Structures are given as C-alpha cells and as structure tokens.
Structure 1
Amino acid sequence: MTTTAVLDVGRAAPVRAAGRTTGSRTATALLLAPAVIASLALFVYPLARIVVVSVTEPTIGLHNYAELFTDGYTLRVLTRTLLVALGVAVLDLLMAFPYAYAMTVCSPRVRAVLFTIVLIPFWTSALAKNFAWMILFQRGGLVDEFLKATLGIDYPLLGTTPAVLIAMSQVLLPFAVLPLYASLEQIDRRLVDAAQGLGATRGRAFRQVYLPLAAPGLVAAGALAFILSLGFYITPALLGSPQQTLIAQLIMARVEQVLDFAGADAIGIFLLIVTVAMALLSRWVSRRATARKEAAR
C-alpha cells in the first residue's frame, strides 16, 4: 500500500467514526422523543398550569399559600395529615423490620412463602380492603366485640383517626417491607458474629453493628410510607369522618363544593414540596449512613 493510500485511509476513519457518532445521537434522540413529549404533555405542563393558577387566581400573589398557614381549619387538616403520615411510617417500620429481618435468616422455601404473603395485598382491590376494614371496625364488628370482651372498651373505631391509621398502615406495609428487605439482605452478618466474638453480647452487637448498617433501609422504607400516605383519599373517606378530614379530602371538597381551584392547587403544590423535601432528606440520611459504613471499613 502506498503512502498516499495510507493517508487516505487515516483521513476516512475519523470521518466514518464521526458519522457513526452523529447517527447514534440521532437514533437516541428519536428513541427518547416519545418519552420526552409524553412527560412534557402529561407531567410538566399540568404541573406548570397548577403553579400558575395557584399564584394568579383570584389575584396575582402568594395569598393562596399564605392561607395554608393562616386559616385555622386548613392548618389543622395539614397538621393532622402530617401526623397521620408520620404514624403510618412508624407503625410500618415497627411491623416491617422484624418481618424483613426474618426473611433474611429463614430458608429459601420459607422466604418464598413470606414473599407471597407480602405480595397478596397487591392482588386485592383497594376498595375491597377498605370495605373489609369497615366491617371489622363497625359497631358490633369483630374488632368492636373483641375490645369489649377482652379489655372492656366500648369504642367503635369506624369513623375515627385510629381506624384510618390502622388501615393505611396495612395497605402500605408491603411498600416498607420490600425496600427494607433489599437493604437488610446486603448486610454481611459476619460483622455481627465478629462483634460477638470480640466480647459483645448479642443485643449489643445488634444495636451497635446491625442497626447502623440497616439505617439506610429503615430511612428509605419510612420515607416511602410517609410520602405515599400523604395523598390517601379512599381510606380516610370510607373509614374516617368529616371531623377528621385529611388533606386529600380537603382538596376534593375545595374542587367539588367550593370551586376553589386555586386554593386546591396551592395545597397540592405544598404536598409536592413536602414530598420532595422528604425524598431529599431520606437520600441525605442514607448517604451519611453509607459514608459512615464505608469509613468503618
């Protein structure tokens, strides 16, 4: 091959490489275009519209957001919703942690059974589960009769905040178990054995070694349960009462009864801000816990 031919081949190679790169970028853009268009049309535009309405109606300003913290009724509903969501997160963590821990130490056959039990709620209609709770909590229901027979308590739960709290915790329990199990499964149990070999008791090794390693999973599971419980509507509507309204019911009332779309939009944006803040906080705590774990190694 002559020197001229070699130089020609050398010049052609970058041209072909550049052509392939341009074609690859074009193909990638074409593949992403439907998803981008759908996101803009179904998420970005509606969200932007909600923000615009919340700050322009009936007049331009932030009065709709100020009302969230100045109107006594709205403030009580917001506080009640946050407390219920926090209660759901705590209850789910208390139930999910031992269950997920058991899934990491049991045999594969038992683990498959436990997985199936966790997945069963996903196969059941939300309305069916709430109607079942209504039957259990109503006057003369199984729970009511049990409380009266065993504890002597005559307190029908239907129409109360505890009923809503219990039902929401049951619905969201799988969302706490699954991420928690995924986190606990990655913990090296030999670290706990090593701590016991160095003289720590089983309880001390669990508290000082296992729990810090499980912290990212606990935070993620709790944050997920908290975020999902903020927007519940069916469960509070069926099992709660008008005197114990939560935020989703307030939004519905403002839209259907008062026609206060701007106020409802402001509440929705506030919930979105709380959700994003909780997600960022969860991520920050998880990163801190992971960094401490890596430093300990």
Structure 2
Amino acid sequence: MKVALTIAGSDSGGGAGIQADLKTFHQFGVFGTSVVTAVTAQNTVGVLAWQALPAELVTRQIDALADDLPPAAVKSGMLGSAELVETVAAGIARRRLPSYVLDPVMVATSGDRLLDRDAEQLIGRRLVPLARLVTPNLEEAAILTGREVRTPADMERAGRALLELGAQAALVKGGHLPGNDVVDVLMSDGMVRRFSRPRLDTTSTHGTGCTLSAAITAGLAHGRPLERSVEDALDFVQRAIAAAPGLGHGHGPLNHFVPAPPRPPTDGW
C-alpha cells in the first residue's frame, strides 16, 4: 500500500486541513499520515482561534514518519508562520520527501487569515522551488507572483511566473472568477492545459482546496502522471461538492465519501 503524507493544520470542523486530507487519501486507496502544524478552533462559519505548533515538534513529526513510514508523495497546507515555512522546507529537503504538492494556504474559505503576512513571500522563496506542483487560488497566485490575477490569461502568466520561481508545475485555480464555468489552468514543461467544468450553485465549499491537493497527492503516490492526477482530483472534488451533506450554518463541507477513480491493478489489493 502506498503512503501519502499531509503537512497541515487541524480543522476542528472536519471539513478542511488534515481531516479533509486523510479522508481524501482513504478514498483514493492510500495510507495517510500527517504532520500537524497548527490547531484551529473553527466551524463552517469561521475560524475562532488558531495556534501554530512549536517548530521542533513539527520537525520531530517529519523525522518520525520519514524514518518508519516514508511517503510516496507529500502535500502541505496551512503552515501558519514564517518559522514553520522554514521548518517544513528544511524537513522536505533534508529528508528528500518526493512528489511534493504545495497548497499555499493563506486565507480560509470564511475569509479568516491562516498565515502571518511575513511568511507569504517566504513560501515563494523556500517552498515553491521544492514543489512538484503548486496549487494557488487567484489571491494566493497574486501574492506569490506580485501581479494581478483576474482572467484565465492572467492565470497562465501567473503559472509561468511560478515555474520561473522553481516549481516543476503550477495549477492556478479559478474558482473565484465570475462565470457559469470554473476554469483551472495547469502549466508544466511548456504544456498548458485548461480544465473547465460547470459551476455548482452551492455554499458547501469549505475545504475544496485541501481536498483537491490531497487528491492530487494521492494520485502521485500511486505513480500516476501529473496531468491524470490533476484531472482525477478535479473530477473527485466536483462530485464531492455536488453530493455535499449540507452541514453547518456557513460554508459547509464536501462529501469526501463519493467514489474516487479506481486504483491501479498493480497495487495488488
């Protein structure tokens, strides 16, 4: 069985963070492990409080897993502080963790900030060059590249800028653009692909970015090509939103129990 690792914050509401990641890993047939970077007190309405964990404890978690349960792919989400950005970058490089998917979480779906401002540019300098894939939304792409991102053409330019910063590939997510369709742009090695799907009329969007990056990570852990992993993940998220259980009074969670794409027969189970 393949192992996938999430390095992210804990969401007490269960819709995002490591809770969403581990549920997604399970649906994709990989064994999920986690490095907790922060603990949040949140629900579907908003984030009431959060606290980053000590850097030494984050390092010890990374080492514990690398020593005994080495991942085939890894993702990071909420890191919270500049110190933890440095800590995670050092851990990924030192332990040579493979197929790293960087979800540069900065703001929650509710609008609450989940990253200190002094850490934003540090992500571009320290984590982007380590990434197999970076998955920013429009706001995150604008912060990382220092340019406005308001159209699909802007998304392509932002993707190129992220590749210039050292990422192997970039998936710029267009869910916040107006229109009847949602457009995401994948760029890698001179390849540009736009994914388009109908926009769903729902407020159940809490944890979509976490779920998407976790699903891509699971695909990479299985050894699937990046483009297929992205396509499978986008399909999974679309169906998870469509089947959302309608929980809470704000931005509700997805349904992480919709079927994922079939596992490859080489997995042997």
TM-score over 0.5 for the pair: no
Structure that is richer in helix per residue: 1
Q: Which has the higher contact order (CA 8 A, sep 6+)?
A: 1
Structure that is richer in strand per residue: 2
